[in-house]
Structure 1
Amino acid sequence: MHLRHLRLLDFRSWPLLELDLEPGVTTFVGRNGHGKTNVLEAIGVLASLRSHRVATDAPMIRTGAATALVGALAHNAGRELTVELALNSGKANRARLNTSPCRRLSDILGVVQSVLFAPEDLALVRGEPAERRRLLDELMAQRRPALGGDLAEYSSVLRQRTALLKSASGALRRGRQEESAAILDTLDVWDGRLAEIGARLVVGRIDLLRQLRPLVVDAYRGLAPESRPADLTYRFRVADTPDESELTDPGLVEAVLLSELGRRRRDEIDRGMSLVGPHRDDLVLTLGDEPAKGFASHGETWSFALALRLGSLELFRADGAEPVLLLDDVFAELDRHRRAALADVAAGVEQVFITAAVGEDVPPGLRGVRHDVVMAGEGRDRHSGMTLSRPGDDGVDDDENTDTEGGGRA
């Protein structure tokens, strides 16, 4: 797939950007903080409904605006589809597909598919379980949009259930037994919903991991042939953990979750938080017999993070899809071997977007159509803009510039 047009309105530093696109490589070159990563972030948000940089929508809405808009014309499986996502401050976000309003945001999942590699991906190896859960969930939602709807519903159930646990905790502390009993009766209903939806998510993650694991292992072997072998396992955080082969049965997983919810209820009420469910699980990365977190060298960490993204790309390809590849300021961070490996992969992708602080950081064969991103204005009027350079033989010729500073069409 590839994008033919991208539109940003009041998205971060961009008051307006209308950008025509073609298959191949597009590079965005500019100083840090001038807005080039914001463009890649917007594409990623269309693909997964999540930012790779922040957990909430508010930072993506331009200061002083009530709504940020991200839209694209996508060529996907022989069809051209228009997709639009509105991020609204203080109210629900909205999505449109081919100009028609969508009932659920997840209805646009799958229209744009992307794989992003960024320096922040080191957190996949070094960081907390939430980083690795997000990797699985974003892949799962893009490949199986129905599970994207389950993820949204699970988040809603989790919020409702956590609020009830806090209320029950407060009622018990105040000695209000009748109020507490009523809350606990309601909690039983939410336990059932959490276990039902949570089971589908766990089974979906296990199915994804079974397909992803060999691709990541192979990618890591190619990137770090002298290193210990890599592996990935799913940590289902319950007292008596079933074997991974049993986690493919939604009925069994649901029963296990219900049992664990009953066992941990007193702990959950005491702490006022949900302690059971797929939001507590982890994807464990290992090198040889040791966890990669805390034991991997700096080079091994980069190799594992890159292998996770290259494995993700190959997973889409196994589905017969060709996602957009987003490379956010990574070539300056990689050594010669890893730069060459990534460049070889990127050269074979239908559409690639690359950001760099300096154009020379991008391998010569990947410079493509270059856009120079600049920041203009002062204070609240600061905004991003760009100039377009059509590549010459060396990929960096800038004889022809079209000034689009402050937005407009490029």
Structure 2
Amino acid sequence: MYLKSIKLVNYRNYDQLYLDFDKRINLLLGKNGQGKTNILEAIYLMSIGKSFRTNKDKELIRFNSENTYIGGIFSKKNDDNIIELVIGNNMKKGIKVNKVSIDKIMQLLGNLNVVIFSPEDLKLVKDGPKERRKFIDREISQIIPLYYNYISNYNKILTQRNKLLKSNYLDENLLDIYDEKLSEYAKYIYLYRRDFIKKIELLSKKIHKNLTSDVEDLKIEYVNQIHVSDDDGLDILKNKFLEKIKSSRNLDKQYRTTKIGPHRDDISIFINSLDVRLYGSQGQQRTASISLKLSEIELIKEETLEYPILLLDDIFSELDQKRQKLLIEEFENIQIFITSAEENHKLIFEDKKDVNIIYIEKGRASQ
């Protein structure tokens, strides 16, 4: 899988932009604030349907414009495909895949798979559980688009339940209905997260050993409140959750929020049996984060039989030379987009033939 070209109209600081890409390495060079990350964001939008930088679509529209267009042609299993998005100030976001309109994000997911790696991802281990849940949910949704529906529906019911808990009149029968609905979606979320974390642990363990020359052993555990086991099927998971959330009802009333559920899941990460978040050095935390992010790539390849596109947003400035080269050499068959403000990063690719260098300045690009 690789992106062949992109077209942007009235997007961020671009009035019009058309770029062809190399199927291997694309280096976007330019000073900060010129629009490099905007291109990566547009690629991500075509994959996920939303930005990794903002929840407000209107921020993507160029100043003084009514709407924006993002379109890209990509090759998947040797066939050309096109994804197009139109976002307007006074209209619903429109998405087309191969000229056919879609009305659900689930229908977009899995068409163009991407993995993005930014300086923020180096804090994946150190940050709070919300960031790790986001990492898990994003990757499962690319592999299993139906999962996106489960997590979206769960969150909608969760919001309604919390609103009820905060109200002056508490309808117990309505709480029962919400508990039943939550348990129906929760059973799938637990199942898919359990299986995903087991797979990601095997892959990241191997990658981490390579990164640390076999000195460190990485272990990842699924942390949840109902003690999900390897043998639990959907009915067992639903009953476990339903029993637990009902037993927590008095506590939920006291705190006026839902204390039990996959919205409080996390993963624990250990290096040589020590919790790296609590006891690991900054270097160990970064290396563990890199191992997790790189394992995403291998898992998508295993599940879809094609490598995703790798987006590296200003990551080289955060890594030493050894890890810079590792990222490039580890994935010889992957299309990579790299943004950098440092001209000397071109030297990393001086022995590579398939490198497309794109210079970005004030919303203009030259190749």
Q: TM-score, normalised by structure 2?
A: 0.91
| Preserved CA contact (<8 Å) 1:203 1:250 | yes
Of 267, 278, 290 in structure 2, the residue corresponding to residue 294 of structure 1 is 278
Question: Structure 2 residue aligned with 1:207, among 195, 202, 214?
Answer: 195
1:222: which partner in 2? 210
Deviations 1:286-314 (A, max 9, x none): 11222111322222122111111211111
**Residue in 1 that maps onto 2:84:** 84
Is this contact kept in 1: 2:17–2:365, CA < 8 A?
A: no
Aligned-residue offset at 1:37: 1.2
Quickly say closer, same or farther: Cα 1:56–1:258, change in 2 above 3 A: farther
Aligned to 2:364: 385
Distance 2:108 2:146 in 1: 11
DSSP 3-state at the match of 2:231: helix
> 1:318 aligned to 288, 302, 305, which one?
302
Contact kept in structure 2, 1:303 and 1:338, CA below 8 Å: no
CA distance in 1, matches of 2:128, 2:91: 30
CA distance in 2, matches of 1:13, 1:286: 43
Judged with a 3 Å threshold, the aligned counterparts in structure 2 of structure 1 residues 188 and 353 are, in CA distance, closer, same or farther, namely: same
Count of matched residue pairs: 363
Give a deviation string over 1:20-45, Cα, whole Å, max 9, x none.
22412111111122221121122223
1:58 and 1:159, CA in 2 relative to 1: closer, same or farther beyond 3 A?
A: farther
Specify the alignment match of 2:359 in structure 1: 372
Q: Displacement of 1:114 after TM fit?
A: 1.0
Secondary structure of the corresponding residue to residue 124 of structure 2? helix
* 1:15 matches 2:2: no
What corresponds to 1:344 in structure 2?
329
- What secondary structure is seen at the aligned counterpart in 2 of 1:190? helix
Name the counterpart of 2:253: 269
SS in 2 for 1:15: strand
Secondary structure of the equivalent of 1:245?
Answer: coil
The reply on whether 1:256 has 2:234 as its aligned counterpart is no
Match runs of 1:29-44 below 5 Å: 29-44=29-44
1:203-226 CA distance string (max 9 Å, x none):
111111222111101111111236
- Alpha-carbon distance in structure 1 between the residues aligned to 2:187 and 2:70: 33
Post-superposition offset of 1:354: 0.8
Do structure 1's residue 234 and structure 2's residue 222 form an aligned pair?
yes
Q: Which moved more, 1:351-360 or 1:269-278?
A: 269-278
How far apart in 1 are the matches of 2:180 and 2:209? 43
What secondary structure sits across from 1:33 in the alignment? Answer: coil
Compute the TM-score of the two structures, normalised by the length of structure 1. Answer: 0.82
Instruction: Write the distance in 2 (CA, Å) between the matches of 1:53 and 1:251.
Output: 38
Residue 90 of structure 1 and its aligned partner are, at CA, apart by 7.6
Q: Could you tell me which residue of structure 2 aligns to residue 48 of structure 1?
A: 48
Distance in 2 between the 1:272 and 1:286 partners? 34
Superposition deviation, residue 152 in structure 1: 2.5
1:193 aligns with one of 156, 170, 181 = 181
Change (3 A) 1:297 1:66: farther
**Structure 1 226/95 Cα, relative in aligned 2: closer, same or farther at 3 Å?**
same
SS at match of 1:125: coil
Q: Which moved more, 1:109-118 or 1:40-49?
A: 40-49
Aligned partners of 2:66 and 2:121: how far apart in 1?
30
Distance 1:351 1:276, change over 3 A: same
Specify the SS of the correspondent of 2:318: coil
CA–CA distance in 2 between the matches of 1:57 and 1:112? 20
Report sequence identity in percent.
26
| Letter of the structure 1 residue corresponding to residue 180 of structure 2 | G
- Runs of 5+ consecutive residues of structure 1 not aligned to the other structure: 172-179, 376-383, 389-410
Gaps of 5+ in 2: none
1:119-169 Cα shifts (integer Å, max 9, x gaps): 1112211101111111111111111111122222223222232222222xx
In 1, distance between residues paired with 2:187 and 2:10? 38
Distance in 2, matches of 1:185 and 1:344, equals 58
Q: Distance in 2 between matches of 1:222 and 1:26?
A: 26
Indicate the RMSD between aligned Cα atoms, in angstroms.
Answer: 2.3
